[in-house]
Amino acid sequence: MELRATVLGGGSWGTTIASVVARNTQTLIWARNPATVAEINEQHRNETYLPGAKLAQRLRATADFEEAVTFADVLIVGVPAQTFRDTLETVARYIRPWVPVISLSKGLEIGTRLRMTQIIEEILPGHPPGVISGPNLAREIIFGSAAASVIAMEDETIAKRLQHLVGSGLFRVYTNTDVAGCELGGALKNIIAIAAGMGDGLNAGDNTRAAVITRGLAELTRLGTAMGGRPATFAGLAGMGDLVATCTSPQSRNRFVGEKLGQGQPLDQIISEMNMVAEGVKSAPVVIELAAEHEIEMPIAHEVNRVIRGEGTPTQAFRGLLRQASGSESDPG
């Protein structure tokens, strides 16, 4: 039996996943903007988010939320983390029983500090939750570059079934039962990417970037394992892989925000000029709260949060990191 898929969200990553899945099965994408819907249906393009890219011919779009949700045998949710709950509350009115719900969002909810699959379990009990995460830059994938990702679900049987639905050609998808680890890796690396971007904006050099990535991986691994993730997950695609891609690519939104901060631009101006969400900006204070709760040292995340809150500059942040005593590499900090 062919499973029909719906993707909620017409941004770059949602559109890319929808186009990939459409190669394997009937796929419907929901977008809020009627002009985007018409462009996808009539021209097989989404020029706002993926300029120059040709989408799968049989991908169909709709602005009718009820139609999109009732169509789905598998629901993939690609909306920002801070609108995830509201979206699912509307989904609950229309979704059929037992339909798996897969998150594309890499963030944590402000206030509750929940991961997206935890919100799925809360709002849509009985629907198997999962997440797709990894070093996945949308433009490279939509233009056919090789890439790998992870679909994480507690039920490995369902994950393996959906693995073949989502993977296609040069887009290799692996399974993982460590849902918490995969989600936390995706959310925490965004803060480290802002730090790497700040270093680039300050022309700090390649050695500094490598140090930020390496020590950043240590930070996110400490917190991630304290919150239930498995150490091996943070050494894999959803951890180190995603971190490296996000910290080094010019296509990374979070690195872009950090770079502009390093060049002296105010955060409000940077955000207002972007048409996509940099999840790390919203997640940073949540991560600091979680680190305090679990008594985990996260100096890089701490300095990024201070800059985002307007309590320091990128230059001061890097000076603060350099002032820290360096002990054994296996020690925190």
**Could you report the per-residue pLDDT of 11-40, keeping only the tens digit for each?**
999 999 999 999 999 999 999 999 999 999
> Please, what is the Cα angle at 148 between 145 and 151, to 5 degrees?
140
The DSSP call for residue 211 is: H
- CA separation for the pair 96, 127 (Å, rounded): 9
pLDDT exceeds 60 at position 325: no
Q: Of 46, 51, 38, whose CA–CA distance to 19 is shortest?
A: 46
- CA separation for the pair 182, 227 (Å, rounded): 12
Question: At the top level of CATH, which class does the domain 5-177 belong to?
Answer: alpha beta
Under 8 Å between Cβ of 173 and 131? no
pLDDT exceeds 70 at position 324: no
* Helix (H/G/I), strand (E/B), else coil: 104: coil
Q: Of 146, 193, 148, whose CA–CA distance to 287 is shortest?
A: 193
Q: Dig out the tokens for 220 from the structure.
A: 């996110």
Would the CATH topology of 5-177 be identical to that of 180-323? Answer: no
Q: Of 262, 239, 150, whose CA–CA distance to 189 is shortest?
A: 239
Q: Dig out the tokens for 252 from the structure.
A: 């990374």
Which CATH number applies to 180-323? 1.10.1040.10
**What local confidence, expressed as pLDDT, does residue 326 receive?**
60
Note if 160 is an active site residue. no
**What local confidence, expressed as pLDDT, does residue 329 receive?**
61
Q: Of 70, 114, 301, whose CA–CA distance to 189 is shortest?
A: 301
Q: For the chain, what's the residue count? A: 333
Under 8 Å between Cβ of 256 and 197? yes
**What local confidence, expressed as pLDDT, does residue 280 receive?**
84
- CA separation for the pair 115, 314 (Å, rounded): 28
**What local confidence, expressed as pLDDT, does residue 278 receive?**
77
Q: Would you list the domain boundaries of the chain?
A: 5-177, 180-323
Catalytic, out of 54, 106, 189, 282: 189
